[in-house]
A and B are shown apart, each in its own frame.
Chain A
Amino acid sequence: MELEEIRVAVLRIEGTNCEDETVKAFRSLGVYAEAVHLKQFYSDMIRDEEQRSLFDYHCIVFPGGFSAGDYVRAGAIFSARVKSVLKRDLEEFIREGYPILGICNGFQVLAELGALPGFDEDKPLADKPEMALGINESNRFECRPTFLKHENGGKCVFTRKIGKGKMVMFPVAHAEGRVIFPRGKEEDYLERLKENDQVVFRYVDERGNYAGYPWNPNGSIYNIAGICNVKGNVFGLMPHPERVFWRYQHPNWLENPESPGDGRAVFESVIEYLREF
């Protein structure tokens, strides 16, 4: 696919609030991106020129924010609305290999949708959620830089331009980010994730060692910050790569002012994947 042909939709509903910087990140790299309200996919109250289909796009992003006020559980209402109107399309989209990204609240939506951990390639949305993003162990809203180690061996299409073992700094800003797997199945889930190369980012300290709070801001099992599905095309993470797209967004940017921000590689990776699609 040519660069100019690539179209990215950043989905929004009431309460999402990171769609603008996410759209900007994609546009800065030369692809077409727009924020699309969920109702543009199904409502008959929408003007013709604003009606959309999922298949108008090659990549879908669930952005950060507080969709529907985080009522019920973070991401639960956004997920329920997507399921009620787009379930079949979304499953086909994933099966065909098109990439889906969920950042922060978007990761919570993907977990609630049953799209992650996404062990079953033929059934990309599980009937019931298979993981939860619970309240941070600290019971605080954690809003600050975090260090992540990239652990993916090449399956995740959003991080192929980041070397395995490389450390990056993406900031977090969430109250519900603690990865929880069903009780008693934790070890089994972790084994499957490792075996399938689905672990993408883990929280580390400044030296790159796995460490507890505050380095692991929420108490996630196995220090998990981000995982992908078994196919590698659905990726969710709590930290915000779009908030470190430019080097000047890093606290220590003066050390290397001309280099790109750490988060840019996420967007470059998926664009490269789509160019070869």
Chain B
Amino acid sequence: MIADVYIELKEGVVDPEGEATKKALRLLGFRKVKNVSTRKVFRIEIDAKSKEEAEKEIKEMCEKLLANPVIQNYRIVWIE
């Protein structure tokens, strides 16, 4: 099974990388750009008996390493 794990900043947490990218895009002439935010994606291939089991394990990975709950949320998207 393969899952994409999206690590995103929580609402209200400033995203300096996104802000700087927006500024640069505007400078390049993309004036319609309203907002840019960044996220990190980990593609995880995992052996598991069921999707539920895999999802439980991936949640644990997020809580133990991939996300800092103070500033980040995580979201799992199944690829296959």
Contacts and interface: CB of A to CB of B under 8 A. Distances in A.
Given A80-B65, A128-B63, A134-B14, A180 B70 contact: yes
* Chain A, interface SS category: loop
A137 B14 CA distance: 8
Interface stretch (A70-78, A245-253, A259-267): A70-78
Interface in B23-80: 63-66, 68-71
Contact of A73 (B13, B14, B17, B68): B68
B45 to A, nearest CB: 17
Contacts of A136: 16
Contact of B68 (A76, A183, A219): A76
Contact of B16 (A72, A73, A83, A137): A137
Q: Which of A130, A131, A180, A219 has the most B CB atoms < 10 Å from its CB?
A: A180
Contacts of A135: 15-17
Contact of B71 (A77, A134, A139, A219): A134
B7 to A, nearest CB: 8
Nearest to A112: B68
A139 B70 contact: no
A77 B14 contact: no
Interface in A188-229: 219
B36 to A, nearest CB: 12
A180 B65 contact: no
A30 interface: no
Contacts of B2: none
Interface of A: 72-73, 76-77, 80, 83, 112, 128-132, 134-139, 180-183, 219
7 contacts: A134-B13, A134-B14, A135-B16, A139-B19, A180-B13, A181-B70, A183-B10
